[in-house]
Amino acid sequence: MNTHWEASAPGVGKDSGEAVQAGRGLSVFAGQPLSEPYCGGVRVSWSTLSLNIPDFTRYGRSQRAQTWGQSLGLPTTMTLFAFLSVLVTSGSQAVYGKPVWDPVQLAAKTDNVVGLLYALVTVLVATLSVNIAANLVSPAFDFSNIAPRRVSFRTGALVTAVLAVAICPWKLYADPQGYIFTWLGLVGGLLGTVAGILVADYWIVRRTRLDLAGLYRTGGRYWYAAGWNWRAVVAFAAGGVLAIGGADFHPLIDGRPVPALKPLADYGWAVGLGTSLVLYLVLMLPRARTARA
């Protein structure tokens, strides 16, 4: 959704003004019900990029450069687009009788043919550009790292593009409830557990110090048991169960796998992150003490 709003940014100002005017001021926007799942959806939509942001920051000229770039570039723009999205969507309820959250559908309601074509072209351009940067780079690197000698970055990108079409993501996007509660809930909960382990290991256990050569050495200090760190696996499994066990898996399956965990489902990302972080630290504590000794 953010991609589409970014695409229509040039016209959002005009739509915002009309929405405020039609809604008789800003009162129509105040007091609208806010739900944690929707706020969580915003967090989860960034959970992927929060894990693979090193794919981009490693090209920064210095730590200071990448820190300032992220601090100024991400929060400011996303706050602006989030505000405009809420503004126009809420205003559309006053204009059309129901909230129109998809900017493409909102543009289709206009009688201005030139404005409609402009909106569709900008949406198309933004969809391509944003997806290449945010959704293509990381999996392309992943595929190329499986067999670096045989799979290049370009090949990995092509494989990613084919799979992206094959899984029919538009079917998830067609149903806002399924997209937010099922897809973002499941993926966000699992990615939150990964983030918790990474934060615990790098910032607390390793104290930001890594043996770079050891990362690529078979039998090295990071090899653990046949290449598996069972502590990380246990932390991921425990955090994942608590994060998504009570989530709504519809239309994949009917009902919730663990109904008792339903209260945690709306906070899946935070639950997964906190659980895996704490559990990983507890399991790694004996090993860390041995290493220091």
Same-domain pairing of 175 and 163: no
Same-domain pairing of 195 and 251: yes
Distances (CA, A) of 73 to 51, 79, 218, 250: 17, 11, 39, 36
Count: domains in the chain:
2
Same-domain pairing of 43 and 126: yes
Same-domain pairing of 234 and 163: no
Cα–Cα dist 269/278, whole Å: 14
Same-domain pairing of 129 and 185: no
Beta-bridge partner residues of 228: 225
Same-domain pairing of 117 and 229: no
Q: Which domain holds residue 4?
A: 1-167
Provide the 3-class DSSP secondary structure of residue 53.
Answer: coil
Same-domain pairing of 134 and 240: no
pLDDT in tens, the chain (293 residues): 444 444 444 444 444 444 444 444 444 444 455 556 666 667 777 788 888 888 888 888 888 898 888 888 888 888 888 788 888 888 888 888 888 877 888 888 878 888 888 888 888 888 888 888 888 888 999 999 888 889 999 999 999 999 988 988 887 777 766 777 777 778 888 999 999 999 999 999 998 888 888 888 888 888 998 889 999 999 999 999 999 888 777 666 676 778 788 888 878 889 999 999 999 999 998 876 666 55
Same-domain pairing of 161 and 196: no
Same-domain pairing of 190 and 157: no
Distances (CA, A) of 95 to 83, 84, 88, 90, 120: 18, 16, 10, 9, 21
Residue 210 backbone phi and psi in degrees, to 5: -125, 145
Same-domain pairing of 154 and 183: no
Cα–Cα dist 6/84, whole Å: 10
User: Does the pTM of the predicted model rise above 0.85?
Assistant: no
Same-domain pairing of 187 and 212: yes
Q: Is the peptide bond before 251 cis (omega within 30 degrees of 0)?
A: yes
